[in-house]
Structure 1
């Protein structure tokens, strides 16, 4: 256990925050609704049916056939599916034993499998329609081609755009500051001295196994092994005694004190990052009006090692650490795809499955309210709306926080009735907030976790795009994401996505991560915001060279200024103009046309980590332009496909 957590808990206890509800009991009751069958005849029958419909057909048709079989069983005898489907998967080599269990076995509070969600999905899915095609494309390894995106719209929910709505308000002469932190992925079982050169997705844990070969790769070089390092009162760093990790011959690359590039963030690195924010503010006499946290508190460990207790503890630890160090600063947050149990899942209201996720809504509502980040009215809304909410800040800006799991392509519940442009009701909520703000001449920021082109589904990305197009540039002053761990941006274009400066609509900021996983330096940023328009005038990025903590005898990371977005790309841009979509269009054109600028972008994206790609190599970094100049899934896919023609 990391001692900083003990100190932090004491600091939080002094604020009166206490979470007494037994969330685990609520979740356990919901997950136990699906009772696994022990009827061997039925189990054998389903395995036989899955086998029969999977032979003598194309991969696509076989996938659709299985969904049809699954739907019948889900409606008539659902308890057979999480027993029989993993057995069929292993027996006929449809996946590895681990993936078969992960994807199809029954969910419990002890096992983060997705079989219960799979059964829920089968209950309502249209196997041979758009639903099935979409599922087989994204969750069955491209078994079916990506189906054409429905030509749906929610334009009936907003009034016509008036002439004044086509013009962005002009900035004034005063600014304030906003902090943006994202993707902690706190690894609560990070173990100093554990294997960092492992064969699994996540290293540096007690169960990490080496890739083989043995031997001490870094003996005589790495020396930062301080198992008891922690932060004490006033958040002062205490290194503790040296821990001799080179006693275990099976470890080839022992995990250092503050983290490793193949591992998520130990809590001491999370605390160091937040400390660096506060220390920077004190040193430069700079304060932040509020902070944004754009999701992902839970680590990337394999689902076999994840359970409900660890998920809940990670969420509590991340927000507790923010509160303990940032004090009274409001923190407006959104949840990421990892901030759910089971991973990536959330169910629509009104279909009988949402009770599996109310524990997370309740936890966030209670925690955010007790920390003083939202009021009671907003807290009640969080409880009933997928942890999404809207808040009017003290400075007059409205922030709308959305749960991007509603359009996440690994969320099983997003695959039924997938032609509905607003199955979760999230877009109508967003639109209502934007219509209200527009009528009052109020500016809005939208924050969520997943950029649609990275892991979103096509139709929701189209609807999201249309909403931003309608309410830009007059009302929407900023869009903010996390998730990729990279310092990036997305530009929205009008005119059938013709990427010219005249067609720029808006852009989105994608924040870098605190976690170093995978191969990035930890980082955070702050924005200089115009007081009148809430437009971003500049963004300042800070990072730590994690590799320099491997052999510094346990000293804290040094957090350094990396670059300012206004100066970092050498764009000739008026000092009085915000860093809007037009500015980032000019940046993207340089990245498109120049190896030199692609390299600059990659340096910033990974924060000069030792693993920055070399863009001078043939074909390297060419797809960066597609990432930066696309917002809809279809546009991004088309852009990438053109690179290969």
Structure 2
């Protein structure tokens, strides 16, 4: 990180000695790039030092008076997540590397810092015995269902307005306007999360495959300003029960960032008495998942922060499920120290130990988790360290499986990221589409799996087309496409009949995309299952292919492009290109269709989203009545802020 310019740093540092409304508002106005974001952290840290109550009340009042969101959204989101962010700010310097990560990951104003060099300690050397490479005997594949991001809204109300001012609609909110402009249908809407009826239809459909499944997380809906621990516990229990009742075989799950309260709340400490402990999540899921995994794995869920390892009955395949939320940029606990942990909660150590055990036992392995390690939501440090483990054990890893992005995607791992070729491609991460209609047509994947190698021979996506006239009567689930059929024929020579869809295959597909715009456009459409499809120009396409070739986050070509919207940019679903969001006159939700994925899609509209919209709101002359809003805000802040908040000594 380059040093702050003297002119930018001077005013906020001076203002920090006596924090007043004008100083705080000016710091927000000036927050348009990395230097000014660091400068903004000075008064925010001083505000946090005044206590959680002052910090939260100040931000809630600012959000409500400036009408950044509806009053209940402002209050709920900031009251839930504000104390966690305040804790992080109290524990770090505004000008060191952790602050840069905070400005990049939460506010979108800094570029991703260079990876902190660290060598992951591995538990043992490569097995000395020369076991024969596992080869396919061309037996008939068996099928495994992969589903993710169900986001079930148990308060979804058919007939409620699907075009509302809330981040999530299709509910009877107390301030709802009647009659509704766009009544929600019985089985879901593109601006809303999954109703119970859609979930029941989905479970009925996947039960017909009569095979075991993997679920890569996110049960709870995205109305994060309303979610509390009681609701999350109930939602998890009810969904687990529904899975057990509907399906005829085991489900191997992973924990998602929404499967806690507050959302993304996975502290680094293990004290179950701590106010923000997530231990209740691990205790609950360990108990609930035990009949699918086994007693040992259930104990691991409880004691290893939601991670576990188990062997699928009747196979030589070991499933290792890891909690990737400890590498997620929106987990504010990851910013609470200027010397962050290389391996929060020992997730990497657990993974390496289990892979070593699998290698010794001669197992093949699937790794499952919620957040893909190469996506822009992943901290580059932990993604790099995870990749070190993949480099060592890729020979026994038959596949990696994730969700979180809500899109049908893949990421390739390479032995040499400076030369990304088919020869250096060593593993692939499969990313499942979501059930929630917010990101496209509801969908799930079915893999054809080789019974000897456990390699993926085909990946078939099934959807319920919301444009079908019968959708709101009874969703019709049908095969959308087969990856083998769509992409295998594009290669020269075409994919051999018994060849798997491995990393080398997918790299060859990316080379086709580079030359064949029609093929790439088809991928673009497949990603959202034919709904919410966006155009992708040459630059977008280049970045999309770079993302495909990046199972390591530092190589995904993501570049932060700060704008006057305080970094509140949402990603084009293909290339994750930066598309500024107009916070003053936003496109109506009924027209947006929730196209972009961004933090609002994966995190829900939490405190980060609220703060990202603040500077542009304050400085925009086009906001009706802004001057009166500002005067009202200043008067409120004078009542809230202590007369004098001293700057800390370690700036």
TM value normalised by structure 2: 0.75
Query: Corresponding residue for 1:225?
Result: none
Query: Corresponding residue for 2:181?
Result: 252
Distance in 2 of aligned mates of 1:150 and 1:177? 41
Distance in 2 of aligned mates of 1:427 and 1:82? 34
1:135–1:415 Cα contact (<8 Å) kept: yes
Question: Is it true that 1:276 corresponds to 2:196 in the alignment?
Answer: no
Query: Corresponding residue for 2:299?
Result: 380
1:150–1:419 Cα contact (<8 Å) kept: no
Distance in 1 of aligned mates of 2:54 and 2:509? 51
Q: How many residues align?
A: 539
Question: Is it true that 1:132 corresponds to 2:99 in the alignment?
Answer: yes
Distance in 2 of aligned mates of 1:90 and 1:593? 47
Query: Corresponding residue for 2:596?
Result: none
Query: Corresponding residue for 2:143?
Result: 177
Structure with larger RCO (C-alpha < 8 A, sep 6+) = 2
| Offset, 1:421 | 2.0
Secondary structure of the structure 1 residue equivalent to 2:367: strand
- Residues 284-433 of structure 1: matches in 2 within 5 Å? 287-288=210-211, 290-301=212-223, 303-327=224-248, 329-349=249-269, 353=274, 356-369=277-290, 372-394=291-313, 395-417=315-337, 419-433=340-354
1:338–1:424 CA distance, 2 compared to 1 (3 A): same
2:163–2:191 Cα contact (<8 Å) kept: yes
Counterpart of 1:576 (choices 495, 498, 502) is 498
Secondary structure of the structure 2 residue equivalent to 1:543: strand
Cα offsets for 1:233-257 (capped at 9, x unmatched): xxxxxxxxxxxxxxx9632221111
Query: Corresponding residue for 1:197?
Result: 163
Distance in 2 of aligned mates of 1:193 and 1:343? 28
Distance in 2 of aligned mates of 1:423 and 1:325? 36
> Once structures 1 and 2 are overlaid, which stretch shifts more, 440-449 or 570-579?
570-579
Query: Corresponding residue for 1:597?
Result: 519
Query: Corresponding residue for 2:404?
Result: 483
Cα offsets for 1:559-596 (capped at 9, x unmatched): 11122221121241122221110111111111222210
Counterpart of 1:633 (choices 534, 553, 578) is 553
Distance in 1 of aligned mates of 2:560 and 2:23? 35
| Offset, 1:555 | 2.8
Distance in 2 of aligned mates of 1:408 and 1:423? 11
Cα offsets for 1:203-240 (capped at 9, x unmatched): 21112988xxxxxxxxxxxxxxxxxxxxxxxxxxxxxx
Secondary structure of the structure 2 residue equivalent to 1:471: helix
1:73–1:261 CA distance, 2 compared to 1 (3 A): closer
| Offset, 1:368 | 1.4
Query: Corresponding residue for 1:560?
Result: 478
1:198–1:208 Cα contact (<8 Å) kept: no
Structure 1: state its 5+ residue gaps. Answer: 1-42, 106-112, 211-247, 282-286
1:348–1:354 Cα contact (<8 Å) kept: no
1:515–1:638 CA distance, 2 compared to 1 (3 A): closer
Distance in 2 of aligned mates of 1:554 and 1:71? 50
TM value normalised by structure 1: 0.75
Distance in 2 of aligned mates of 1:631 and 1:185? 25
Cα offsets for 1:17-75 (capped at 9, x unmatched): xxxxxxxxxxxxxxxxxxxxxxxxxx99765797499499876456445656766786x
Distance in 1 of aligned mates of 2:406 and 2:518? 22
Cα offsets for 1:399-450 (capped at 9, x unmatched): 1111111001000111234653213210011011111111222111100011
Secondary structure of the structure 2 residue equivalent to 1:524: strand
- RMSD, aligned α-carbons: 3.5
Query: Corresponding residue for 2:460?
Result: 540
1:171–1:578 Cα contact (<8 Å) kept: no
| Offset, 1:355 | 6.0
1:346–1:354 Cα contact (<8 Å) kept: no
1:619–1:381 CA distance, 2 compared to 1 (3 A): closer
1:83–1:586 CA distance, 2 compared to 1 (3 A): closer
Distance in 1 of aligned mates of 2:356 and 2:541? 40
1:534–1:55 CA distance, 2 compared to 1 (3 A): closer
